[in-house]
Structure 1
Amino acid sequence: MGRGVVGFGLAELDWGDTPQERAAAKDFLLRVLDLALSRHRWEELTYEPPRAEGYLRTYRAMVEEFDPATARAGTGVLPKPREAAMASCVRHRVLDALPFWQACVFCTAGV
């Protein structure tokens, strides 16, 4: 397990129950990836990620080609909004991946 989301397939995510919800979820994920590809907030990193842009482009292509209608419904891989809020670091605005870690990876990086 690394600093990112590791060890899941796109079909395991909850894309929604209706075609409209699935389309909205896919659009949201593609917009998030486009934002990351624009290097949004990269200045907050403590290093220059040499391969991140290539990985993001590859992942974006995978999401673009993925058909959410093929996903398994109700897998519950990602936290619901209320659960996600409890697992977020307010200071760094990232998910903490609880219960795997007890604190934010950035808050505890120097510990």
Structure 2
Amino acid sequence: MLHLPLNLQIKDSCFWGREYVLSGSECGNVLVWRRSDAQPVCAIKADEVVVNRLQPHPFLPYLAVSGVDHTIKLIEPSPIPEDQDDESHFEKIEKRKNAAREVLCSVLLT
């Protein structure tokens, strides 16, 4: 299961069909997890700063997304392009988490 860094919060979340759970995040992405095994599937860039709210269309494959600006974006999740390494985003989150943990531990131990 994906563990998030101390400085990254999950925002709004929802189900996408029966297979996936989507959530907004402070990294500006919609994060997608497979419901059956809680594994991260992909990250969809949806805002420059933060994704606070997301809402799927009731029957079309669209997702309404909003952040801190005054816009609502309609996105249509699509397959990941072959040249895009989706896993690298989750690796970056893991590295930030580890770095934040090291800083926190060094502050607490001094």
* Pair in the same fold by TM > 0.5: no
Report which of the two has the higher share of strand.
Answer: 2
Measured against the shorter chain, the TM-score band is under 0.3
Report which of the two has the higher share of helix.
Answer: 1
Where relative contact order (Cα < 8 A, 6+ residues apart) is larger, the structure is 1
